[in-house]
Structures are given as structure tokens and as C-alpha cells.
Amino acid sequence: MQHGLDILVICAHPDDAEISVGGTLIRYVNEGFEVGVADLTMGELGTRGSGPLRLKEADRAANVIGLKVRENLNLGDGTFQNDPQTRSKVIACIRKHKPRIVLTNAPGDRHPDHGRAAQLVGESCFFSGLTKIETELDGTKQNPWRPKALYHFIQDYYIEPDFVMDIEQHWDKKVEVLKSYSSQFYNPDSNEPSTPISGDDFFEFLKSRSREMGRAAGFKLAEGFVAARRIGVKDFFDLH
């Protein structure tokens, strides 16, 4: 069966993907791969901004990256659960886009939604391949589809990565993408409460984290990933 997207990020909130794997997404779009993002919620419980505003910002970021797909499942910020009904919606999304690779939230993190999303997406990727679990899209029964691989990105809490992606050439554009979320990041004219990501030093923290991720692999800047299962390689000389 022919795949659809090459990479699909399924994550809890608009901006999760851009903060943690924005450089990776930019890299693969630039190389001609088809990449999409499906946000589980609008981030409507966030301290700054609002759900409708976050949707507009997410669309703006998608245009800067060059995403093939950007959609929102609107499952409820802070309230979505890993239950059969919710999994069915995520499974339908996976079967719709037929990604080869799925990227999702960190297995555990400061925000409870991140770890819950990681489990929800991980289980949905598996169940999406089962014939006896039925889903429909626009009244048409969907065929089973299981992605080739699932990888978790690293977010607020440090997690030792299983591998890292070189993003040195894409850092400046990643910052440009992040600035699409004007409600979430530093704005000296904003009267909204401050958050852990709204300070004027947050982008420097991200760059420092990227330096830390890349250093041991010989990269200046990198984004880190945790593999859902053991990774196999065919050639020593492809490893850094």
C-alpha cells in the first residue's frame, strides 16, 4: 500500500512541534519530503493567547515551514484521555495521512499533556495497523495503516537522546517559525502573565539545548529523539 506523508508529527499543542523539532521539519521539507503536523488540541488552556489565536499562529508557522498538512483534532487541552473513543480519532488521522514516520511528544515532561499524548499516539500507531479496529473518513471505511517508526522528541525536561538530528543550517529559519507564535514568546509590549517560554532568554535556552544535543555527535546544533523501539543500522559509516 502506497504511503502518504513521509513524516507526520502528532503532538499535544500548537508549537510543541516547532519548539522541539522545528529544525528537523524544515530540513526534510527542504529536501523534498512531504511533512505534516496534527495538533491534538488548540492549546486553549495556555496562560497566554487563546485557542483561536493559536490556530492562526499554527497556520502561519505551517506556511513558513512549508508543511503539506496542518490540522487540529480539537480533543480538549488538558482534558483529552487515552481511551478507545479518543484513540479512534487519532487512528483515523494516521490512516488518513499514511505516514512513514510519526514524531510525537516526550514520554514524560513538565506538562502532563505531553506524556499523555506520547502514550496516546504510541498506542494509536499500533492499533492503526489492526484490521478489526474500524474507522471511517467522510463515510468511507479506512484501510489499516501502521507507520514504519515512532520517535519521541525531547521537550522541557532533559532526556538522554537515542539519536540526534543535525539542524545547524536550519536554526535561523526555526527561530523565524517560532516567531509565528507571537502570543507565546517574548513580547515586551504584552500585558499577559509571563510563562516559562515567554522570557527574553528562552530562544537562547533552546539554542543551548541544541548545542548540548549536538556536541557529542560532532554537530554544532541538533534536536534529540527517543526511539520507541530498538534502532537498526545497515552501515557503520552512516553513523556519526
Which superfamily does 7-238 belong to? LmbE-like (3.40.50.10320)
What is the structure's pLDDT at 188?
Answer: 87
Q: Which three cell numbers stand for residue 112?
A: 502532563
Domain boundaries, the chain: 7-238
- Grade residue 190 by pLDDT with cuts at 50, 70 and 90: confident
Mean pLDDT, rounded, for 180-189: 91
Mean pLDDT, rounded, for 9-31: 98
- Grade residue 210 by pLDDT with cuts at 50, 70 and 90: very high
| DSSP letter (8 states) at residue 156 | S
Contact (CB, 8 A) for 128 and 144: yes
Tens-digit pLDDT profile for residues 76-125: 999 999 999 999 999 999 999 999 999 999 999 999 999 999 999 999 99
> What span, in angstroms and rounded, lies between the C-alpha atoms of 166 and 26?
11
pLDDT at 1 over 80: no
pLDDT at 240 over 90: no
Q: Please give the backbone phi and psi of residue 197, each rounded to the nearest 5 degrees, phi first.
A: -110, 0
Mean pLDDT, rounded, for 164-192: 94
**Residue 151 is inside which H or E element, if any?**
strand 149-153
Whole-model pTM: value is 0.95
**Residue of 200, 224, 222 whose CA lies nearest to 211:** 222
What is the structure's pLDDT at 152?
Answer: 98
Q: Which three cell numbers stand for residue 63?
A: 506556511
> What span, in angstroms and rounded, lies between the C-alpha atoms of 189 and 140?
49
The DSSP result for 20-86, as a single string, is HHHHHHHHHHHTT--EEEEESS--TT-SSS-HHHHHHHHHHHHHHHT-SEEEE----TTT---SHHH
Reduce the DSSP state of residue 178 to 3 states and report it. helix
